[in-house]
Amino acid sequence: MFVFHTKLRNIPLSEKFAAYYHALRLDFSTTAYLSVIPLLIYTFWYFTDREKINFNWVKKYNAVFIVLFSLISVINFNIYREWGSKINSRAIEFAIRTPNESLASGASSPILQTLLVLIVLLAVGFYLNFVLVKRDVQFYKTPLWAKFSITILTLSLNFLLIRGVGNAPNSQSMAFFSTHQILNHASLNTEWNLVSSILANGKIKKNRYVYQYQKLADLEVKNLYHVEKDTTISILNTSKPNVVIFILESFTADLTKTLGNENGITPNLDSLAKNGVLFSQIYATGNRTDKGLIGSLTGFPTLAVANIVSWPEKMQKIPAISQKLYQNGYQTSFYYGGESKFDNYKAFILGHQYKKLTDRNNFEKKDMSSNWGAYDGLVFNRQLADANQTQQPFFSTILSLTNHEPFELPVNYKFGSASNVQRFKSTAFYTDSCIGSYLSEAKKQPWYKNTLFVFVADHGHTLPKNNHEIYEPQRYHIPLIFYGDVIKNNFRGKIFDHTGSQQDLSATLLSQLNINSKDFKWSKNLLNPYSKNFAYFSWDNGFGFINNGHAVTFDNLGKSVLYNNKPKDTKQTNQILNTGKAYIQSAYQHFIDL
């Protein structure tokens, strides 16, 4: 609460203090867990004839946890700043699998503040450990029956603190009490939540999002994707164009003039929107690149805290655009300036018939001047050069990375570099300028006139406006643009404003190419007039569902609605909430069954 005090300014003081009260249950539970070993050892010596025992080892025992918990605490508030959720199993996996990328992600964190908080936590912890823990413990002569009584009482009390009093055992929900999500997260014990997340992550054989009978949930989802007529609005003048998909790092709709009313950041992307086909109400399926990559290229939905890229054997079983196009005679390639092993990207890419992969290992060392790898300009130019040597038709996917923390650039910062907002705008402007340069050069190539360019973000971002919480739909609003000479003249400049998801790119694109997309059960054709207007997204703790402009988000831990833009429409709210629950339940069951 100290670190994020600016976000608490408009919250009543009484509610802030209430967070400390609601934190007690899981704080006591954590303390009781840590007390198990000292308590059992104490109990053992209690039943011996010793009059005094040395308890100095407890100070060392405590010291280990003081250091560990202090480190977890400072890591947690930096993760919370970026992800909007507390440290969990996903963050640990991220750090273990890709330590270099983890450090790069944290490079924009406030170093001085982090060190100051760490020093204070360590100092207070060691001081209390020195003052409160006695070096020796004196035993007094006590009847055996009294010893048994005291032991049973002590162990029972410790067990009750671990489990919690009442019918329901302790869970994260015990800390949730407020309509202000930040207060719920403040009262949720960080270490208790982390261990719970790690344990839950290993239990994928059981659906953790069961809200109704599975058959009812599956039927609800089936009805969502059912269309009266399987047809499409044909916007292309050819059925077999080259296809180049740009998946743009953190390119939230808020960056653009067209969708976010921001001037001068993305002039090229705004021009493409005016001269191509713009889908104006598209939402990212998640809040991380791995989720956006899978969502855009396979149509598979996010699973809240779980992630399909962590299980390559399951990931290989879902279809991808690249597979379909390869089977239809396309040359397939993937370009990324970073490390493709990061978050199992490489397993996905090579497992879905991308026949050519170019990543940071294919660039010279002098080009690796960014924490993440090669800057976007170099990557875009590499794909352009390779395209000139590639047999048509070809399908290329380009995953950008420059617009990622810590927002580094090989050129001057257009909007300054004093703050993260300025740096974010500047890196977005750089990537946008690279798009402009790429297309200017591509227009000179013989393959250009037969190429469809698709631009979509991997996920949204709290910047540049810095006013969207992780559970607000606006944070997931992203651009989706089809562009190129292969688009019929009467559709250039056309805006489709039906609600959809980046998951829908798969079915929409394949339908334009007259390729069957029935394998993509989680993707709908945005250009089918009979498709329903909805979008689903999720983050670590919850999900959101949007239906015809009505958006509701729900916290899976606190079991509460976090956002509702039409709260007076109770009937529609309940319907959307039930549909969202059915969606995440059915998606997670599909994941289990793979």
Cα(546)–Cα(535) distance, integer angstroms? 5
Q: What is the pLDDT of residue 437?
A: 98
490-499 residue pLDDT tens: 999 999 999 9
Report, as an integer, the average pLDDT of 97-111. 74
More confident residue, 45 or 216: 216
Report, as an integer, the average pLDDT of 274-285. 98
Average pLDDT of the residues of the chain: 93
Structure tokens at 541: 């703790």
383-403 residue pLDDT tens: 999 999 999 999 999 999 999
More confident residue, 108 or 526: 526
Place of tokens 């109400």: 281
Q: What is the pLDDT of residue 280?
A: 98
Strand, helix or coil for residue 214:
helix
Alpha-carbon distances of 202 from 57, 305, 377, 594, rounded to whole Å: 33, 12, 40, 16
Report the phi/psi class of residue 324: left, alpha or beta, with left for phi > 0 and alpha for psi in -120 to 50: alpha
Which stretch of 197-206, 450-459, 546-555 has the lowest confidence by average pLDDT? 197-206
Report, as an integer, the average pLDDT of 516-528. 97
Q: In which band, very low, low, confident or very high, does the pLDDT at 477 lie, cut at 50, 70 and 90?
A: very high
Q: What is the pLDDT of residue 167?
A: 67
Q: What global pTM score does this model have?
A: 0.84
Report, as an integer, the average pLDDT of 120-131. 94
**Does the pLDDT value for residue 351 go beyond 80?**
yes
Q: Give the dihedral of Cα atoms 359, 361, 363, 367; nearest 10 deg.
A: 100
Burial 163-183 (b: 16+ CB within 10 A, else e): ebeeeeebbbbbbbbbebbbb
Q: What is the pLDDT of residue 203?
A: 66
Task: Of 439, 438, 356, 431, give the one whose Cα is nearest residue 401.
Answer: 431
Which stretch of 120-124, 310-314, 536-540 has the lowest confidence by average pLDDT? 310-314
316-331 residue pLDDT tens: 899 999 999 999 999 9
More confident residue, 421 or 3: 421
Report, as an integer, the average pLDDT of 111-118. 90
Which stretch of 208-222, 280-294, 342-356 has the lowest confidence by average pLDDT? 342-356
Task: Of 582, 583, 592, 539, give the one whose Cα is nearest residue 207.
Answer: 592
**Does the pLDDT value for residue 431 go beyond 80?**
yes
Burial of residue 115, with CB atoms counted within 10 A of its CB: 0-12 exposed, 13-18 middle, 19 or more buried: exposed
57-100 residue pLDDT tens: 999 999 999 999 999 999 998 888 877 788 888 788 777 777 77
Return the amino acid letter for 286. Answer: G
